[in-house]
Amino acid sequence: MSETRSKPRTPRRHRRRKTALLAGIPLALTSAGAMAYGGVFGVFGQDAQPKAAAAAATTSALAGVTDVANGFASVNALGQNGTYGGRDGQTVTVKTLADLEKYATASEPYIIVVAATINMNPVGKEIKVASDKTIIGAGTSGHIVGGGFFLGTGVHNVIIRNLTIRDAYQGIWNDKEHDFDAIQMDGAHHVWIDHNDLRHMADGLIDSRKDTTYLTVSWNKLSQENKAFGIGWTENTTADITIHHNWIRETEQRNPSTDNVAHAHLYNNYLEDEAGTTIKSSYGNYSRGKTNMVLENSYFQGMTNPVVRDATATLVQRGNVFAGTSGKNESGGSGAAWDPKTYYTYTLDKAADVPALLKSGVGPRSSVAKATTATTATTTSTTAAAATTLTVAADGSGQYRTVQAAVNAVPANNASRVVISVKPGTYRELVKVPSNKPHVTIQGSGGSRKDTTIVYNNASGTPKPDGSGTYGTGGSATVAVDGDDFQARNLTISNDFDEAAHQDIANQAVALRTSADKVFLDGVIVSGDQDTLLVDTASKDKLGRVYITNSYVIGNTDFIFGRATAVIDKSVITLKKRWNGTSAGYVTAPSTAANRKGILIANSTVNGDVSDRSFYLGRPWHAGGDASLDPQTTIRNTTLSAAIRTTPWTDMSGFSWKDDRFAEYQNKGAGSGAASTDRPQLTDAQATGQEVADWLGDWTPTAG
């Protein structure tokens, strides 16, 4: 493919941590060691998976999981420096109640991978978890049914992640007799509850009681319950708790109710009282007793009494959105002002983005944690090979000062993964991962994908320094990836070319170009204006697959384009105005080869601060006028804002979109529309052949 292309220019008892910790990133990866957790694979219970087969399942289950918590669970206090669970112990994979209870109650540290549905016996049983444990589901297969977990006084350093805990309901909505919770904590500290689906229990979903402190609850879905999340039941005011990025829906009360908490930090949560259901909220976030609460950038949909405080409590609100709510919405109080950033690092998402972000991001994850089928053979123990990690820091505190220097240090034709861990900062440089350096991961080590940015400002018409012409579209990329099995996570890749100042040159300006196979982007921002993301292949006859999830792609003209087989899943596509303030653009410009899959956008949101009916979903790019190409874009199960035109596809450079492959399926939102000759919709039968798995084929993206 030619570099150029012809198309229109159109301080109390805490010690603060010195290292940045992840906050607000779904299952992001902080280090290569996070997969191994410092333990040896191959220690299993009586009915657990045998060692070799389970090693693969365990590796996959742990992929993409941070080794430390965020929020108050990350704070160094009470003799515990953060929350890292069973990192220092061995990894076991369990499929029975007996094995789960055996390892969860043991005195030694363990990482316990739940790889099956485990039914509690008797119903309502709560396993008494001991300190130094990580209990994590293998993909979406880890279900705890009819009971849950109990963390007693003094229990600490516990992580509960990626599980579905459900169905202890005994037929009585406001159940006073059966104290069957999903997770109950009485006097515990340093606990991280993350990426779980908690629903339909007998009493409540989460109870944090009796001065439980240094607790972070993040990226969970809490639903189908009278009482969602109760905190307190104590006369003391000592607890410190962070609650962020949780979707609480179809619940009546305790959403949460926060009683006598010294520091309660709630941000980027989504509370939804769905119209038309039999469940009606009585209140949302409640600051009770002497609680001092900071409530930021949350979204309240249809809630009755969305924010309530006692006369003795303090509640500071900032940046929240209230849609269709009624009743009390309170703030104020006489408590001392406090700033969460005094205790830990975090970054807020925009409140308006929260519903879409959480609908696609909460709960157990399957794409990066898929268990392997067990076998019955007995094998010897196996140890997980850790990836090589290279560190980058602009201030000289790492091994390298630039990302490219770290890439250069990767040996040619490396056989195993090399993780380039980039400390927070702005790296103004060009980065190229050559084709002879596969298995490279570039990941930000900060608390947010916004903390680490790789940025440059070349455009198609920018002259090369050596006087040999201009860069061309593909050559303008800030980050260019030619090596297979590339991964990026927890960072921003940007092209900040100034179109307004350079209307004299071709202004296609790429942030990220990929021309490799098995490219996996998780928790990133790719930002630009025209031609932001070029998903390409090494040549017309070669396959290039790209999977993007939990991410943002930002631009205005053809900003997702190329001939790769690319999936954008569970992400936000943000439409941006042009340099002159006008709203007009195109989301995709596929250049797919015949008999190949093109661009698939699924389970995502398309929105932005642009005019209504001003953006097309796509147009066919026949690169170089090649009539043999068969461009394809499918957009399905995605929320489209009113910015999308009612006739969402259009022609390009003399080629009609109707001669190529453009379709939708079960989209929703103000920008969606019914089937017509100008708006093709897949049938149910056709849609079964256009799933994410159909695009990826034999490749299951797994974080490494």
- At residue 408, φ and ψ (nearest 5 deg) are -60, -30
Catalytic annotation on 531? yes
State how far the Cα of 304 lies from the Cα of 686, in Å rounded to an integer.
Answer: 42
Considering the candidates 207, 259, 451, 558, report the single residue annotated as catalytic: 558
| Contact indicator for 651, 620 with CB cutoff of 8 Å | yes
Neighbours of 436 (CB within 10 A): 12
State how far the Cα of 565 lies from the Cα of 587, in Å rounded to an integer.
Answer: 16
Q: Which residues pair with 164 in a beta bridge?
A: 143, 197
- Rg (C-alpha) for the chain, rounded Å, is 25
* Tokens 């919405």, residue located: 329
Q: What is the DSSP string of 466-500?
A: TSS-B-HHHHT-SEEE-SSS-EEEEEEEEE---TT
Residues contacting residue 6 through CB under 8 Å, at least 6 positions apart = 624, 625, 653
What separation in angstroms does the CA of 143 have from each of 60, 112, 118, 505, 644? 17, 13, 6, 57, 39
| Contact indicator for 150, 126 with CB cutoff of 8 Å | yes
Residues contacting residue 677 through CB under 8 Å, at least 6 positions apart = none
Catalytic annotation on 175? no
Neighbours of 310 (CB within 10 A): 16
Helix (H) or strand (E) holding 54: helix 51-62
Q: What is the DSSP string of 624-689?
A: GG-TT---EEEEES-EE-TTB-SS-B--BTTB-GGGSEEEEES-BSTT----BTTB-B--HHHHTT
DSSP letter, residue 73: G
Residue type, 111: I
The dihedral through the CA atoms of 109, 111, 114, 115 has a sign that is negative
End-to-end CA distance of the chain: 30
User: Which is nearest to 438 in space by CA: 51, 171, 704?
Assistant: 704
Token output for 358: 């959480």
Residues contacting residue 230 through CB under 8 Å, at least 6 positions apart = 204, 206, 207, 208, 209, 254, 256, 257, 259
Name the 3-class secondary structure at 269.
coil
Helix (H) or strand (E) holding 102: helix 97-104
Considering the candidates 186, 349, 531, 569, report the single residue annotated as catalytic: 531
- At residue 323, φ and ψ (nearest 5 deg) are -120, 115
CA dihedral 178, 117, 568, 403 (to 10 degrees): 100
How many angstroms from the chain centroid is the CA of residue 301? 22
State how far the Cα of 208 lies from the Cα of 368, in Å rounded to an integer.
Answer: 30
**Would you please indicate which residues are annotated as catalytic (active-site) residues?**
531, 558
